[in-house]
Structure 1
Amino acid sequence: MLLFCNNISAQKDILDKKVNIDISKGNLKDYFDNIEKNNNVIVSYSSSIVDISIVKEVDTTSFICGELFSYLLEEQAVRAISRGQKILVIPDPSKNISFSRLRARNYYTVNGYVKDAETGEALVGASVYNPVTNRGTITNEFGYYSFTMPEGKQTTNYSFVGFKPVSKTFQLNKRLRSDIFLKTNLEIEEIIVIDQDSSMIWRGREKINLDEIRNLPSVFGEVDIIKSIALLPGVQSGNEAQGGLLVRGGSPDQNLIMLDGIPLYEVNHLFGLVSIFNEDAVNNVNLYKSDFSAKYGGRLSSVVDIQLKDGNYKDYQGSATLGILGGKMNLEGPIQKEKSSFNIAGRTSWIGELIGPTVNNFLDVDGTKFGYRDFNLKIKREFKSTNSLTFSAYSGRDNVSYNDKTQKIENFDLKTDNKLNWGTDVASIRWSRLLGPKVFSNLTVGFVDYNYLYNVEHQLGNNPNPDIEDKNFSVATTSQIFDRIVKLDFDYFKTNKLDIKFGGGYTLHTYNPAVKQATKSLGNNIKEIFGDIIATNAGEYTLYAESYYRPFSNISIHTGLHYAAYSVEQEVYHSLQPRLSVNLGLPWHGFFGISYSRMNQFIHLLANPGLGLPSDLWVPSTADLRPETSDQFALNYNMDLSDEIRFHTAVYYKDFNNLIEFSSAYDLFSPVINDISQTPVFVESKDWESRVDSGKGQAFGWEAQIKKRKGRFTGSFSYTYGRSFRTFENINRSVRFPYRYDRKHDISASAVYKLNPEFNLGMLWIYGTGNAITLPIEGYFDVNGQEVLNYDTRNNFRLPSYHRFDISLNYNKRLGRFLLNANVGAYNAYNRQNPYYIYLFQNPRTEEYNLRQISVFPILPYLNVRLKI
């Protein structure tokens, strides 16, 4: 399958034109050389498929080009096609001619980088294709390719969506280095150059088009990578204001999200209002839901691989954005032209100051404060043509605080102060080196430092009970992770049919998770039930190897094996994780794929099981808590219905093992709601380990998407039917129950309509089945007179369905050297009151329980202005 859309389609085909020659007899090579000399064209062929020694004789010097080639090639299973001013001699299976396949005496390698001509940035996933041999490849995650062709005159096509394709002709008689620079295509809406061979190599990958998501509505106009991923089939977002991804029945912690090769633990600002990824700093985003590369490990459900921009190697560029949410700036350019570059991007928010009073009234709280900031830096230096050194860094912080309004309960007052802060620091250094034209290597050293703290302080005033010694007490949860990482990766382009990747790494994890309580007496003396948190250290070792084999132009086979060893508390866990996928190209522009992947995860995320504020606690595997595993089977089918419309569908089934869940359904952080005379009991820093149970899970589903990619109207419609269940020996009487993120139906519909070259209208509608929650069905008093709530079964009720509609009007205008982007719109345009969380409150006068819902995002209009140089 070969699709070309280019701006020469209106020109007359060269095969229909007359050509002149000045010889009457000779071999095919003589004729090809003579045609080139007299007609300003290039004839490209491979001596491995055409016998150029055959002698032909003609009786005239003027021919229709196509007729001449038909005569010259009539005895061989090849034919001529045209590409602009090039004539390519390619295999023709339709000719029922049997002949021995010729072998060229020598094969030579062409290798290099494919880059953006304007900025010098590498283009990841660019297509490299030789139509004569019907073979191709794509550039790796650093824009590098290596391609082997027979000696002689060869034509290679280079292409990338949104860029003008380039066709290069080489006279191969030795190894050749060729860096290719593609120019942005401004004349055509979209160029698609797909060859069946290379496009199937990464069939498990979904590339996120940043240009597409810029025109979609977003929260306060902030382009958000994570929210755009949640629009894809098989991917769901969390509840309102929760930015975690739920991929094919998994939980938010089961996604490996990487920034320049370093895994992250928290990827959201302000509970998922926006993600930590600044679109101005991002170059490339890929999502894997199945067919995982063997180099990825440590998570069960998906991989989101994000790479930052290197920066412009040629000119200085910058942008500034102002909006209701906050402001951001970006600056990039060369340190030394063509050799080194930098890219700096920063954001800060002032939304808390703008809408804090509104939030106070809306949530019935006092003193609301919230905000975030983040910073990205990347510096790259190239040494000669075989080495480069890259430094990447990210730092971000969030702070949220609010006070529940003082409540009068009987004769005393109750006030609750809530404080949350979290942040991540990441840094890495990567050394890339070419070890010959066929081997590409990377050595990466880096760290990630993640901190999360949530503290709730309850203050009792006018307390009538003299038995309660402490007037104030607080409950806090903290999650601290510090990883030191080193890894070495190799890409070996053995042949055009076989790519091999292998490598390994080591990570030293330090975990500090705890739920703790501190009490304060009237004398202001702090008393803690336990002392300092004891850190847990763990070492993780990984090795992997995989191959991408393409025995025929329409078949690719991906095999891989990932080995991991995890050492913690005198216990060593070993894990072998095989991966296999087979993709078949179909003659009607379709692809069918089947895949199996085993994944392993050594870290767990404990979510607050009660009805209160969602709060997450990262905890490691221990000697008593085994790592999680999953086995996934998936069938995929993709088809281009036309040049404009693409269809995708898939079914999947997953088995999970060693999942963990809090045994109790009670809220950890609101103990005073039910009985003010008791405080929670946490006896040691690892109390979480004694409060959890380990079990199994199953997830299965069907997903589909239809997408229109070109024209004035573009958009997509995605639907996912998915179920996710859990089974624990000591929870729910060992009966299987729906997982809290079990979402039976999930729909996303997006559209962009181009009103004119400067204005376009973006629309987005999202619907999802409500999350499962646990509610008590009755209350009774035990033999000691204590009230007990009977929850019957786990996750026995559903929150209301989640849905909303967003709309935006986008304006783009070139003003000399400046590019002005402005958008105005509304998030949640019809003001749907989606639940953020709910809690149970007992009226002390009537002793009745009431269920109260908190919704945090009403309709949110916005105006955003961006100026780019």
Structure 2
Amino acid sequence: MILFLCGLLLFTAPLRANTPEGSLQKQMEWIHTTHHVDFVYNAEVVVNQSYQGPTLRGLTLEKALATLFQGTGISWSRDGRYVILKQSKATKPSNKPIDAPVRQRRFTISGYVKDTGGESLINATVYDLTTRQGTTTNEYGFYSITLPEGRHRLRLSYLGFEEHEEAIHLTADRRMDISLQERNNLAEVVVTGDMNSPLLNTQTGKRTFSQKDIKTEFSLLSSPDVVKTVQRTSGVAEGVELASGLYVHGGNNDENLFLLDGTPLYQINHSMGLFSSFNADVVKNVDFYKSGFPARYGGRLSSVMDVRTADGDLQHYHGSYRIGLLDGSLQLEGPIQRGKTSFNLGLRRSWLDLITTPVFAIINRSNKEDKININYNFHDLNAKIVHLFSDRSRLSLSTYWGRDHLFTKGESLWGSNTAIDRDVIENRFNWGNFNMALDWNYVFSPKLFANFTGVYTYNLSRFNTLYDYTYKNGKESTVSHSEHGYHSTINDVGYRMAFDYRPLPSHHLRFGHDLTYHWFRPQTFSSLTYFGSDTKADTLKLQGKNHHGTLELNAYVEDEWTLNDHWSVDFGANLSLFDTRLKQFFRVDPRVAMKYQAGQRLSFKASYTMMTQFVHKISNSYIDLPTDYWVPTTERLHPMRSGQLAVGAYYQPTRHWLLSLEGYYKESNRLLQYANWLGLEPPADAWDTKVSEGRGRFYGVEADARYQDKRLKIDAAYTLSWNRRRFDDFFPEWYYDKFDNRHKFNITMRCRLSKGTHFYAGWIYRTGNRMTAPTQYADMPDLGEGRSQGFVYERPNNIVLPAYHRLDLGFDIHHKTKRGRERVWNWSIYNAYCHFNTLFVNVKYDETTGRIRAKAKGYIPIIPSFSYTIKF
């Protein structure tokens, strides 16, 4: 704007209904409503003087403005929909102003935005209708906005809640906590003023999900899932069907940073990826970044998923319990000390073991020769306690405990009365996490918010397999016993300090640092013991251990600045130091994002970010297995790094539609790949000699569209992408990644059919995954062992599997009991039209025709599920 260039503080005029009927400001309000223009002026312009001129009705806009300001000492000019006012210093106003300002002062309004139960709301918008400036609440629901002295009207909004407007007369710093009323119907998308909207915020590649976005009417096998919700977004590949994998912008599954209340989760899956570790009953907000990473995040290359759990109701006790097909859950929350201390408890457990144990007992009772037992269960527990010392000081303790147990046993017995053979095979798997975070929030001043966190994380992966063979023939016996196992743990202990400073609504500064001590302990062992007929034993034992104690220090500074009505920039840097005791690595990762606001309905963005990753997951499978383990960068290897450029355009043609188009280009270096020919289980000792280093190039375009009104919500996402890698030790040229899905299209619909009935439909289509297939069957080189033949492979991942597609459906039926409790029946159908997507490919050589034939096979059919929930 012109007045910005002149160094004046501009704001759009508040148009209030409580001004005197014959005032200049009241006439401006009429012009604003009739001619759809906004007035822009600084504090020197006296608009609250009386008006005694002729009526403005029936006049054109220009004639009405000329008549209104004649003799007032105010000059005007027009720039599109804006009318810019200036106060003439040579001309005095004809009337004495009412409450004319003497001088310009600024004060700060700060506080928390919460719901009626005291639960803080993350990314809620606080918008001043007077100055047309706004801000959002941070991850603890705190906001701070500095405004000129005088009268203002604040509008507070959050998706799924009623808007709240507050008229204030600002004469000093003010503390104002606001409670918003929840809205039960689907919220309309009103992007204007929503500072967290992709149209208005500065970051590229950010998506925010509330609990209502996650707990849709569709629940796979009765349990809603956070990770599977993110899988439906553009730029994300799910990998193997039914698994909770995330392959973001070409990255591997271990290149995603998962944070639960600020603590990292190393294992995010239950049931080999069928369920994620995030219990949707306690999740409050998820911020997901796939590009344009803010400087406060670091440690991974591809994405950041920041999950925050609910604090608990400070006023009332309530909860819910759910009974599903494979699992059940219980959630309770309420005050320990009303208005001061709250708790929130979420418990989830599968009960497949309660079914399989009696079933196999009945089967084994009738079969004396072959017996089998399978027992699997998982559980996770979330607990959080929050205490308010004062309106400035807040303490919370958040814990998570999740564990999977799998036990299998097979026993075979055969023979006669004189000779008996007996085989026994046992497998035991255990994996999971324990996380704890102690948070203290303190408001040093209305502009400065601080958070101090103590962090502890424990991760376990363990399996043991046992084989016993016994042969008895009279007095002679032969016994063979073998064991093999793996045990890996991670212990993280550290602290974090984060500061949030907002000197002006247009200026938001974040800075802080964290220190973490990592202790990695991967271990393997195997033993073989053989007893012959003479009862003497021969034993062979192998053991591998690898202990790594590392220290990681991170510091960051991030500055988001709105330069004017059109331009805003978010720039900063993340500095990291990784100490392996034998070698230190220091990296500086710059981050910058820019936005150009072309108008109220159109914006353009660009960002460039560098990321560094010091820990790696060694795996020989695309499914999360207990045999996978995490290891740190060592003195032999350098940390992985990536640089990503992203650009985008965002458009809101109407209040119900939001469209976006983003493109990205990412290069990654020093990527690690385990030498899979060494076996399914990676070695624990000297692991850094068993990996190859390579590079990656990933680029694509993502288009998103959203329509939303009171009854209907539709999300559509399309991705066109290329994922290429190069590992010279493996293949000396660029080749496509296994999950190079060229096209991906996803559309979901949520609809309120009636007051108590809600419907969900989601369809996904993507180009099939890639695999390596032989191109010919030919003679192999003669190495002195005679002539041989075998398959010849041209390059890795050289064929594309059939396209993947499926339809998911879901229904929720809500019913209120006489006691006011809500009952929810859910019916969900996975793969509704029963399309068998490819899971396995059988490759055969036809000697008759000399051709190689490949046949794709799918095994996952239509899967119905149900659940019953009672809220109390």
Into which bin does the TM-score normalised by the smaller protein fall? Answer: 0.7 to 0.9
Given that 2:202 and 2:593 are in contact with CA atoms closer than 8 Å, whether structure 1 keeps it comes out as no
Q: 1:515 to 1:524 in 2, by over 3 A?
A: farther
Paired AA for residue 645 in structure 2: F
Larger displacement relative to structure 2 (424-433 or 548-557): 548-557
How far is 1:721 from its partner? Answer: 1.8
The residue identity in structure 2 corresponding to 1:625 is L
Query: Who is 1:538 aligned against?
Result: 550
1:48 to 42, 46, 54: 42
Structure 1 gap segments, 5+ residues each: 2-13, 36-43, 80-89, 464-468, 670-681, 843-848
Structure 1 length-normalised TM: 0.83
Distance, in Å, in 2 between the alignment partners of 1:266 and 1:242 is 13
Structure 2 Cα separation of the partners of residues 156 and 519 of structure 1: 74
Equivalent residue for 1:752?
750
Match of 1:828 among 831, 834, 857: 831
Report if the CA contact (8 A) 2:53-2:68 is conserved.
Answer: no
Counterparts of 2:103 and 2:169, CA distance in 1: 14
Q: Equivalent residue for 1:367?
A: 373
| Cα distance change, pair 485–48 in 1 and its aligned pair in 2 (3 A) | same
Aligned to 2:83: 95
Task: Summarize deviations over 1:301-357 as a string: whole Å, max 9, x none.
Answer: 111000010000110011110011111101000111111110001011013554799
Residue equivalent to 2:8: none
Q: Residue by residue, what CA displacement relative to the aligned partner does 1:114-157 show, whole Å, maximum 9, x if unpaired?
A: 111x2111111111111221211111111111111111112221
After superposition, the C-alpha distances for 1:526-549 in whole angstroms (9 at most, x for unaligned) are: 956544623111100001001000
Match of 2:822 in 1: 819
Deviation, structure 1 residue 799: 4.9
Provide the residue aligned with 1:123 in structure 2. Answer: 121
In structure 2, the partner of 1:672 is: none
Match of 2:382 among 376, 383, 386: 376
Match of 1:169 among 167, 170, 178: 167
User: Match of 1:11?
Assistant: none
After TM superposition, give the deviation of residue 686 of structure 1 in Å. 1.5
1:457-476 matches, within 5 Å, as: 471=480, 473=482, 476=485
Mapped partners of 2:563, 2:601: distance in 1: 19
After TM superposition, give the deviation of residue 602 of structure 1 in Å: 0.5
Contact 1:46 1:151 in 2 (8 A): no
Distance 1:77 1:59 in 2: 16
Q: Which amino acid aligns with 2:376?
A: F
Aligned ranges 1:703-852 → 2 under 5 Å:
703-732=702-731, 734-774=732-772, 783=784, 792=793, 793-815=795-817, 816-834=819-837
Q: Does 1:591 align with 2:603?
A: yes
Alpha-carbon displacement from aligned partner over 1:423-442 (angstroms, at most 9, x marks no partner) = 10001101110111110001
Q: Which residue of 2 aligns with 1:510?
A: 519
Q: Give the count of matched residue pairs.
A: 803
* Contact 1:479/1:513, CA 8 A, preserved across alignment: yes
- Alpha-carbon distance in structure 2 between the residues aligned to 1:402 and 1:798: 36
Q: Does 1:248 align with 2:243?
A: no
Return the letter of the residue paired with 1:812: H
Question: Aligned equivalents of 1:612 and 1:198: distance in 2?
Answer: 34
Give secondary structure in 1 for the equivalent of 2:563: strand
Q: Give the drift of 1:858.
A: 3.4
Q: Which residue does the alignment assign to 2:646? A: 634
Deviation at 1:517, TM superposition (A): 3.7
1:48 alignment partner AA: N
Deviations 1:80-107, CA, capped at 9 Å, x for gaps? xxxxxxxxxx999633655579994211
* Aligned residues of 1:374 and 1:396 also touching (Cα < 8 A): yes
CA contact (8 A) 2:524 2:545 kept: no
User: Partner residue of 1:449?
Assistant: 458
Query: Does the residue aligned with 1:735 lie in a helix, a strand or coil?
Result: strand
Contact 2:333–2:344 at 8 Å: present in 1 too? yes
The answer to whether the Cα contact below 8 Å between 1:611 and 1:667 also exists between their aligned partners in 2 is no
In the other structure, the counterpart of 1:580 is: 592
In the alignment, the residues of structure 2 paired with residue 197 and residue 576 of structure 1 have an alpha-carbon distance, to the nearest angstrom, of 29
> Which amino acid letter does the alignment assign opposite residue 620 of structure 1?
P
Compare 500-509 and 632-641 and name the one that shifted more: 632-641
Is the deviation greater in 717-726 or in 68-77?
68-77
Answer yes or no: is 1:311 the counterpart of 2:312.
yes
Q: Does the aligned pair in 2 maintain the 1:135–1:197 contact within 8 Å?
A: no
Matched, 1:398 2:404: yes
Give matches, 1:67-78, under 5 Å: 76=74
**Residue 865 of structure 1, aligned match among 845, 862, 868:** 868
Describe how 1:232-311 pairs up with structure 2 within 5 A.
Answer: 232-311=233-312
User: Partner of 1:494: helix, strand, or coil?
Assistant: strand
Q: Which moved more, 1:454-463 or 1:200-209?
A: 454-463
- Distance of aligned partners of 1:269 and 1:612 in 2 relative to their CA distance in 1, 3 Å threshold: closer
In structure 2, the CA distance between the partners of 1:173 and 1:114, relative to structure 1 (3 Å rule), is: same
- Counterpart of 1:9 in structure 2 is none
Cα deviation for residue 214 of structure 1 reads 2.5
Give the distance between the partners of 1:770 and 1:420, measured in 2 at CA. 32
CA distance in 2 between counterparts of 1:395 and 1:459 reads: 34
The amino acid of 1:794's aligned partner reads P
1:728-757 CA-to-partner distances (Å, cap 9, x unmatched) read: 12112x222222332222222222233211
Over 3 Å counting, the alpha-carbon distance change for 1:620 and 1:839 in structure 2 is farther
Separation of aligned partners in 2, 1:771 and 1:206: 25
Residue by residue over 1:698-741, the C-alpha shift from the partner in whole angstroms, topping out at 9 and shown as x without a partner, is 11111112222225332222221222122112112x22222233
1:597 CA drift (Å): 0.5
CA change 1:158–1:588 in 2 (3 A) is closer
Identical-residue share of aligned pairs (%): 28
Distance in 1, Cα, partners of 2:562 & 2:303: 25
CA contact (8 A) 1:240 1:835 kept: no
Q: Which ranges in structure 2 are unaligned for 5 or more consecutive residues?
A: 2-13, 31-37, 90-100, 364-369, 415-420, 473-477, 846-851
Distance in 2 of aligned mates of 1:518 and 1:274 = 34
Q: Is the 8 A contact 1:610 1:668 kept in 2?
A: no
1:583 Cα shift?
A: 1.1
CA distance in 2, matches of 1:320, 1:666: 47
Output the CA distance in 1 between the equivalents of 2:488 and 2:842: 24
CA offsets, 1:761-786, max 9 Å, x none?
A: 21222233333344566596854689
AA aligned opposite 2:337: Q
RMSD over aligned CA atoms reads 4.3
Cα distance change on mapping 1:814 and 1:656 into 2, 3 Å: same
Per-residue deviation, 1:190: 2.9
Q: Which amino acid aligns with 2:643?
A: D
SS in 2 for 1:280: coil
Partner SS, residue 659 of structure 1: strand
Q: Distance in 1 between matches of 2:773 and 2:209?
A: 39
Q: Deviations over 1:607-629 (max 9, x none)?
A: 21699989533221111121100
Change (3 A) 1:333 1:787: farther
CA distance in 1, matches of 2:507, 2:442: 21
Distance verdict in 2 for CA 1:77–1:144, change over 3 Å: farther
* Offset of residue 834 of structure 1: 4.0
Structure 1 residues 785 and 478, CA, compared in 2 at 3 Å: closer, same or farther? farther
Aligned residue identity for 2:583:
E
Check if 1:481 corresponds to 2:516: no
- Which residue identity does 2:796 align to in structure 1? R
Q: Which amino acid aligns with 1:720?
A: T
Hey, what does 1:696 align to over in structure 2? 695
Give TM-score scaled by structure 2 length: 0.83
Distance change >3 Å, CA 210–CA 69, structure 1 → 2: farther
Encode CA deviations 1:20-59: one digit per residue, 9 max, x unaligned: 75x8xxx969x89xx9xxxxxxxx9998346227855517
1:58 corresponding residue in structure 2:
52
Classify 1:182/1:71 alpha carbon distance in 2 versus 1 (closer, same or farther; 3 Å): farther
Note if contact 1:321-1:329 (Cα within 8 Å) is conserved in structure 2.
yes
